[in-house]
Structures are given as structure tokens and as C-alpha cells.
């Protein structure tokens, strides 16, 4: 079967949710806590090393029941079965969506087109592991007999963001290899990276699912040319490896067949860090930590597959997000990890979430007349507090935010950790409570201001509060917990795509830019400028002057 195709706005539960929203819209989260002393227990989930507190949201048990009804009406369960069973749910590209198979244990059986994919997944993983062991131990030598010291991942989008984000997230677990990432086609960045490299001791990992991506091929070509100004052609075999589905193109680029780490077309780029695309992660932290990352993701997959919807972390987060997006008119969601290690999580999730669910046509091919994908942004706390928190506290928009924190710091810096977590906790409380006019006046009075000064200042000191947050409190930042966290967001993406009746696993919207860039490149490098609008033509002329 293909995915169910149900317009959510035509369901009974959608109508009930609209009515429910009208009845509830003036309620305040704080009042909900006063009415229900058990609210935290009822609206939080303790699972493994995760505590997920969603009690500081504008919702009641009735809201969750109605949202669950919606999930049932759009047949989320059937969609989940189709997804995990390897059906071609990426219908517009005719492919299965099986990144979950990449983290399944060797004992699992997952079929795609009648073939169990698990043995090949584990065979590729074995190749990754033994290659990483050889590079890390120094057994794999460069062309002058020296061990590898530096790794450069050349890729973009899903072939860069996941590996780069996770390598940074797991910096505490890193070995001696210095791992860098080149993604943008900007030559200046390539040159800055090259400046730091010794060709004798650098390994280049070219990652491109299609092996046709302009940025990646340009960067790889420039780096290869630079490398060959120092080393002989045969040295390519020791210094260049590639990850792709396109074995022909890899061969044409001159990569030795032993140095190819294949990936399958049923892995979407933005969900590919679990595949050979994660080679740079495995090199940076070693195969054992990479395995732990995958094991964590698998645990989250099992939780997602088996837990009841109201006990299911990704399902709940997806339902809450739909509640704000479609009933409260929230336009964006903020992701605020309280750790520098995860400072690139928001950028990573921007691709994951926005490339997946930024769609305006439903699964029947009709233009959609309701809101879909949320805009994702964020930054690490406490830096974010000193940057954009003003807007969340006192701006005019509803911005649901996920606060992600860890109970223990990795280096045991207790004093810092206490301050960090004090901010973490204080912010969600403040966002919910706000500050009333009389509290603001009282505060000004205690500072000795006159009544007229108080009257003038008080309006600006008021915080409306009632700002929704989810708190994810995880025991410690470990490879396994990062695996769980990423998989949690991946499954949230899936659920939202199903609820919105869209296809989450294609990305036709990025193709237009690619096509146009090729035309404009001809304009820039050739003698003639093709037909464009007046502004574009003027800009091209200016560039060519």
C-alpha cells in the first residue's frame, strides 16, 4: 500500500480541535497548573535517560485526546507500518524510506522490494569499522608512509550537516584525528581549509549521495588538483575515499574501488548520517561510539513503534507542534540546546524539518489550504538568552520552544553546570509565568523610583508569560543519547508529514535553484547574457564588469 491520503482538515477531530481552541484560547498555562496539582506527572514522560516535560504548554488532557483522535483519523498507525516495512512511501521518487534499517540490529529482517536489507547494512558497517580502525591506529598510511592526522569531509546538505553536527556534538569522545568539513562552493573556504593541511597526512572523504552535486564536485576537484601538486597520481588511493550511491561517477572521479563506501537510494540525504555518510563521525570518535549512536537511535525507533500515542515522545511532540502550527497560528519553533556541543543542532534540524515538511501540495497532488512545515531556528543557551530571547519573552509571536539540557556536565565542572542549568530551568519558568503589571510596579518601587517614574516604565517591564516550552532533560551527553535525540526529531518529522498529508521525503523545491544556477553560470562565464528580468541582467552585467 501507499500512505493514507486524508486531508486532516476534513476530519471530525480537526473540527473538534477548532472548537476546543476557541474554548481554551484564553486559558493560561499557569492556571492549568493551579487547577491540576498532578499536571507535571500527567504531562511528562520518563523514558530511559530522557525526561520529557511537556506540561508547560497551552493544552489539557482534552487537547491531547483530540490530537490523538486526529492521529487515528489520518491513520498514522497504517502509515508507520508502511514506513517501517520498507514500502515506497517516498512516492514521488518511487523509493522506500529506510534510514531506520541503518540502525537495526543484525538479527532484524527488513525487506525492500522483497530483499532483506539488513545483511548489506551490516556488511557496509563492518567495512566502515575496519577502515576507521586502520586510520585511527595508524595502520592506514599516507603516500610517504606517515599515519593520517587530518580528515576532510567534502559534502553539502545531508552529506555535511549531520556528520558535522554529530562530530561536534561528540567532541568529548573524539580521538586524535582532526576532522574538518568543507561544504560551500566558496573557494575562499576551501583555500582556508587547504592552508591547514599536510597532503602527506590528510584523508579526504567525498560524500555525495548522487555524486552530481555542483558544490561537492567542485570542492573535491579543487582539492584533488591541490593534492596532485604535491603527490603522485597513485597516492589518490591512500588519500581519497567516497560515499555515494553512484558507483559509476565515483569510478570516473578516480577513486579506487576499495575506497568506496556505498549507500542505498532508500536513505534520504538529510537522514543519512547513520549510513556510510557518517564515516567522518566514525573516524572522529571511533567505531564503538558510532555504534552507540546507532544503538540509541534504534531504541528511539522501537519506542516510537511500540508506545501508545500519548506515551510516545515523537508522536506527542509532533501533535503539540501541529496544535500550535495549525490552531494557534505559530509560524516557527525554536530549538535551544543548553550545551555548546549541540550549537549546530538547530541548523541540522532546519534541513531535516524544513526540507521534509516545507511542502504546499498534498499527497493527492492538490494545493494545500492549511499550514504545513514549521520554520526552525535557535541557538545554544545561554548565548541565545543574550541574543534573541527578548523576542520570545516580549515579542508578539507565539514561538513554541524545545529546551534541551543535560543533568551532568562531561568534565564535572559543577559550578558552571549549576549556573547553566539554573538558566535552563529559570527561562522556561519565566516564559510561562511572565511578570504582571503589579509585580513590575512593585519591583520598581523597591528600587526607590517615584510613582510617575513607575507609571512611565512599568508597561515595558511587563512580561505576558504563557509562552509554551517543552523541556528535554537528558542524563548526560553520550553517543547513545545523541542517537536517541536525533531519531526523536526524525520520527517527529514523519508524524507531522502524515498529519499534514504531505510527502516528507522528497525535495523538489531545491531543484529550481540548481537549474537556474547552471544557466546563470553560463551567463557569467560566456560572452552572452541570456534573457532575464531587468534586475537580474543588471546584476550580471555589474558582476562581469
Q: How many of the chain's residues bind ligand F6P (CB under 6 A)?
A: 14
Which among 246, 239, 231 is positioned nearest to 276, based on CA atoms?
Answer: 246
Angstrom distance (rounded) from CA 466 to CA 454: 24
Of residues 254-273, those binding ligand F6P (CB under 6 A): 269-270
Whether the CB-CB separation of 182 and 223 falls below 8 Å is answered with: yes
The active-site residue, picked from 25, 386, 397, 416, is: 386
Q: Does 497 bind ligand F6P (CB under 6 A)?
A: no
Task: Please confirm, yes or no, whether 514 is among the known catalytic residues.
Answer: yes
Q: Does 213 bind ligand F6P (CB under 6 A)?
A: yes
Contact stretch for ligand F6P (CB under 6 A) within 208-216, 341-349, 450-458, 525-533:
208-216
| Nearer residue to ligand F6P within complex by CB, 336 or 354 | 354
In the chain, count H helices and then E strands. Answer: 23, 13
Whether the CB-CB separation of 298 and 103 falls below 8 Å is answered with: yes
Shortest gap between Cβ of 246 and ligand F6P (angstroms)? 8
Which residue in the set 202, 216, 380, 409 belongs to the binding site for ligand F6P (CB under 6 A)? 216
Q: Does 183 bind ligand F6P (CB under 6 A)?
A: no
Of residues 319-348, those binding ligand F6P (CB under 6 A): none
The active-site residue, picked from 112, 355, 480, 490, is: 355
Angstrom distance (rounded) from CA 205 to CA 219: 11
Q: Does 210 bind ligand F6P (CB under 6 A)?
A: yes
Q: Does 209 bind ligand F6P (CB under 6 A)?
A: yes
| Nearer residue to ligand F6P within complex by CB, 162 or 314 | 162
Shortest gap between Cβ of 199 and ligand F6P (angstroms)? 24
Which residue in the set 63, 159, 167, 427 belongs to the binding site for ligand F6P (CB under 6 A)? 159
Shortest gap between Cβ of 111 and ligand F6P (angstroms)? 25
| Nearer residue to ligand F6P within complex by CB, 243 or 330 | 243
Angstrom distance (rounded) from CA 227 to CA 144: 13
**Phi-psi region at 267: left, alpha or beta (left = phi > 0; alpha = psi -120 to 50):** beta
| Nearer residue to ligand F6P within complex by CB, 199 or 269 | 269
Q: Does 468 bind ligand F6P (CB under 6 A)?
A: no
**Cα 409 versus chain centre, distance:** 23
Task: Please confirm, yes or no, whether 48 is among the known catalytic residues.
Answer: no
Shortest gap between Cβ of 95 and ligand F6P (angstroms)? 13
Of residues 504-533, those binding ligand F6P (CB under 6 A): 507, 510
Which cell goes with 280? Answer: 567522518
207 Cβ contact partners less than 8 Å away, ≥ 6 residues apart: 153, 154, 155, 159, 160, 163, 216, 242, 243, 244, 277, 279, 280
For residue 276, the surrounding DSSP H or E stretch is none
How far from 311 is each of 315, 368, 371, 423, CA to CA, in Å? 8, 30, 26, 28
Q: Does 153 bind ligand F6P (CB under 6 A)?
A: no
Contact stretch for ligand F6P (CB under 6 A) within 19-27, 57-65, 153-161, 457-465:
153-161
Angstrom distance (rounded) from CA 55 to CA 33: 8
Q: Does 299 bind ligand F6P (CB under 6 A)?
A: no
Q: Does 44 bind ligand F6P (CB under 6 A)?
A: no
Shortest gap between Cβ of 231 and ligand F6P (angstroms)? 25
Sign, CA dihedral 487-488-489-492, equals: positive
Contact stretch for ligand F6P (CB under 6 A) within 152-160, 279-287, 309-317, 341-349:
152-160
Contact stretch for ligand F6P (CB under 6 A) within 29-37, 204-212, 443-451, 527-535:
204-212
**Phi-psi region at 122: left, alpha or beta (left = phi > 0; alpha = psi -120 to 50):** alpha
| Nearer residue to ligand F6P within complex by CB, 154 or 315 | 154
Task: Please confirm, yes or no, whether 355 is among the known catalytic residues.
Answer: yes
Q: Does 278 bind ligand F6P (CB under 6 A)?
A: no
Return the CA Rg of the chain. 25
Cβ-count burial of 239 within 10 angstroms (0-12 exposed, 13-18 middle, 19+ buried)? buried
Shortest gap between Cβ of 167 and ligand F6P (angstroms)? 17
Which residue in the set 76, 89, 136, 156 belongs to the binding site for ligand F6P (CB under 6 A)? 156
For residue 80, the surrounding DSSP H or E stretch is helix 76-84
Shortest gap between Cβ of 133 and ligand F6P (angstroms)? 26
Which residue in the set 60, 100, 153, 208 belongs to the binding site for ligand F6P (CB under 6 A)? 208
**Phi-psi region at 118: left, alpha or beta (left = phi > 0; alpha = psi -120 to 50):** alpha
Which among 70, 492, 58, 471 is positioned nearest to 318, based on CA atoms?
Answer: 492
Q: Does 95 bind ligand F6P (CB under 6 A)?
A: no
**Phi-psi region at 465: left, alpha or beta (left = phi > 0; alpha = psi -120 to 50):** left
Place of cell 567516497: 242
Which cell goes with 80? Answer: 508507520
Contact stretch for ligand F6P (CB under 6 A) within 44-52, 207-215, 375-383, 389-397:
207-215
| Nearer residue to ligand F6P within complex by CB, 199 or 268 | 268
Q: Which residues bind ligand F6P (CB under 6 A)?
A: 156-159, 208-210, 213, 216, 269-270, 355, 507, 510
Catalytic residue numbers, as ranges: 355, 386, 514
Amino acid at each position: 500500500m501507499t500512505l493514507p491520503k486524508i486531508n486532516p482538515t476534513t476530519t471530525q477531530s480537526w473540527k473538534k480541535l477548532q472548537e476546543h481552541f476557541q474554548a481554551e484560547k484564553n486559558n493560561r498555562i499557569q492556571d492549568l497548573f493551579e487547577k491540576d496539582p498532578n499536571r507535571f506527572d500527567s504531562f511528562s514522560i520518563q523514558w530511559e535517560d530522557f525526561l520529557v516535560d511537556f506540561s508547560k504548554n497551552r493544552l489539557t488532557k482534552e487537547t491531547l485526546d483530540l490530537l490523538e483522535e486526529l492521529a487515528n483519523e489520518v491513520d498514522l498507525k497504517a502509515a508507520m507500518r508502511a514506513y517501517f516495512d520498507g514500502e515506497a512511501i517516498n512516492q514521488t521518487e518511487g523509493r522506500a524510506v529506510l534510514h531506520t534499517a541503518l540502525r537495526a540490529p543484525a538479527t532484524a529482517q527488513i525487506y525492500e522490494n522483497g530483499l532483506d536489507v539488513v545483511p548489506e547494512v551490516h556488511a557496509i558497517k563492518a567495512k566502515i569499522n575496519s577502515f576507521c580502525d586502520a586510520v585511527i591506529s595508524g595502520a592506514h598510511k599516507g603516500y610517504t608512509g606517515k599515519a593520517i592526522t587530518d580528515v576532510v569531509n567534502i559534502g553539502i546538505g545531508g552529506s555535511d550537516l549531520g556528520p558535522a553536527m554529530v562530530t561536534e556534538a561528540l567532541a568529548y569522545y573524539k580521538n586524535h584525528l582532526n576532522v574538518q568539513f568543507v561544504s560551500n562552493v566558496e573557494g575562499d573556504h576551501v583555500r582556508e581549509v587547504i592552508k591547514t593541511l599536510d597532503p602527506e597526512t590528510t584523508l579526504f572523504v567525498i560524500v555525495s549521495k548522487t555524486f552530481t552535486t555542483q558544490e561537492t564536485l567542485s570542492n573535491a576537484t579543487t582539492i584533488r588538483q591541490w593534492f596532485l601538486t604535491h603527490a603522485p597520481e597513485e597516492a589518490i588511493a591512500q588519500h581519497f575515499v567516497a560515499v555515494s550511491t553512484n558507483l559509476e561517477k565515483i569510478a570516473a572521479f578516480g577513486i579506487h574501488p576499495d575506497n568506496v563506501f556505498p549507500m542505498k537510494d532508500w536513505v534520504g540525504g538529510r537522514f543519512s548520517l547513520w549510513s556510510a555518510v557518517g564515516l567522518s563521525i566514525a573516524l572522529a570518535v571511533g567505531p564503538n561510539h558510532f555504534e552507540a549512536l546507532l544503538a540509541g537511535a534504534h531504541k528511539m525507533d522501537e519506542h516510537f513503534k511500540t508506545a501508545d500515542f500519548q506515551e510516545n515522545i515523537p508522536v506527542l511532540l509532533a501533535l503539540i507542534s501541529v496544535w500550535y502550527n495549525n490552531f494557534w497560528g505559530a509560524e516557527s519553533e525554536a530549538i535551544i540546546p543548553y550545551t555548546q556541543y549541540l550549537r549546530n543542532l538547530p541548523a541540522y534540524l532546519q534541513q531535516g524539518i524544513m526540507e521534509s515538511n516545507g511542502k504546499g501540495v498534498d499527497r493527492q497532488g492538490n494545493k494545500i489550504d492549511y499550514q504545513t512545515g514549521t520554520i526552525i531556528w535557535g541557538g545554544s543557551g545561554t548565548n541565545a538568552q543574550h541574543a534573541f530571547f527578548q523576542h520570545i519573552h516580549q515579542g508578539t509571536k507565539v514561538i513554541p520552544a524545545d529546551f534541551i539540557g543535560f543533568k551532568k556536565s562531561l568534565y564535572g565542572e559543577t559550578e558552571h553546570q549549576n549556573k547553566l542549568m539554573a538558566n535552563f530551568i529559570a527561562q522556561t519558568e519565566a516564559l510561562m509565568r511572565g511578570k504582571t503589571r503589579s509585580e513590575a510596579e512593585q519591583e520598581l518601587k523597591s528600587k526607590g523610583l517615584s510613582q510617575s517614574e513607575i507609571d512611565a516604565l512599568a508597561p515595558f517591564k511587563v512580561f505576558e508569560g504563557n509562552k509554551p516550552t517543552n523541556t528535554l532533560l537528558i542524563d548526560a551527553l553520550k553517543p547513545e543519547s545523541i542517537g536517541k535525540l536525533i531519531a526523536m526529531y526524525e520520527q517527529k518529522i514523519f508524524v507531522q508529514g502524515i498529519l499534514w498529508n504531505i510527502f516528507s521525503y522528497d525535495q523538489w523545491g531545491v531543484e529550481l535553484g540548481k537549474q537556474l544556477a547552471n544557466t546563470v553560470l553560463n551567463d557569467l562565464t560566456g560572452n552572452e547574457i541570456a534573457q532575464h528580468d531587468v534586475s537580474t541582467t543588471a546584476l550580471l552585467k555589474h558582476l562581469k564588469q
